[in-house]
Chains A and B, each alone.
Chain A
Amino acid sequence: MASQNLSPVLEGAKVNLKPNFENIAWKWMRYSAVLLIPLVWIHVILQDVLVGVHRINLDYVTLRWATAGWRIYDVLLLSFAFAHGMNGLRQVLTDYIHPPKWQRVISWLILLLWLTITAIGAVAIIGGVRRG
């Protein structure tokens, strides 16, 4: 067929690379993405469309988190979706900002932001709804 038009890379040539941070981060993006398609789509269709924000309130969250399965579901969403998103943000920013010094600054800032917001979310899911 048209295989003579393909470069060696397109023909599936294997290149051995020593895994470094970027290599692991790339794999994280790919593997988490496969999980995120069912996780995020079910979450969005359920909460945004079928239930809808008008019917969501503290009682709804209390009821939902009374089931351990939904708490685990939300922990998975938090860990996979936000890590995927923040690493994606890092990739986009370092695509436009080239000086290595600034790329390091960006990476550290995003790491801090990711850890902080993830910790806040994790405490809330574990702590659950608090009634005053």
Chain B
Amino acid sequence: MARGWMGVCGLVLAFAALCGGAHAAAPPQRIVSLNLCGDQLAWMLAGRGRIAALSHLARSAELSYVAPQVADVPIVQGAAEEILPLAPDLVLAGRYTAKPTVAFLRAKGVPILELSIPQDFAGIRDQVRRVARALGEEPRGEALIAAMDAALAEPAQRHDGPRPVGVAWQAGGFTAGAGTLTDAVLDAAGLDNLATRSGLKGHGYLTLEAMVAGRPDVLIADAALPTQPSLRQALLQHPALARPGALGRRVTVPAPLLACGTPATAEAVRLLRAALAEGTRP
């Protein structure tokens, strides 16, 4: 199988020039991902057989969409000395993955694909196409995009009057405003983002007063709240929010759907639309 041949190639990686010609044409067979989003895209596009290792976050049920499936895939913490012996022929790194590690790998001739951070569905399409091209899986990438677009195209619930208001308000008042993936998800679901409306750009904090004054119809509640007490979580239970009518409804959106822009993010839109269809003010 091609894997054995690539192993030989990996052994002589120091003489990258010898193998370089073959690399350009053949799709990578020993993929290492150092980034949570790269983990998920590599899994969706290439599958188990061609993955040498994923980042340790891939197994985190709180963050990773593919966590249940990757329990037996080798993981790396992200240090150069554990990655190099794996002889990867493609490393997926995030834009903010440890720069010295990535520079070292690049200097050793390891091909690196640097991922962007999609902030909307157009960004997700671009990202999937780039990774699919690098993995030689263009048809699979197009299929994933088509499935995502089909989910997004399902008719949104009709509402008379102004659009309902939604917000993703996490422990401590942390939220996502304009130019974030969460904002794009709320918009696609037919909701006005309270944080964006309050003038927040990027990620930041929304005060309790702004939450009460905004009377959101939908609150995206984190599915993976730790059960141990903290002051930040106590804020989510403040009496001013617990009163009837202060919030329309809490919708649980699993954090992995919003942590990374992947085709699975469309699932978050579907969950929000379903909640809107049930009626926002019970």
Partners in one complex: no
Residues in chain B within 8 A of chain A (CB atoms): none
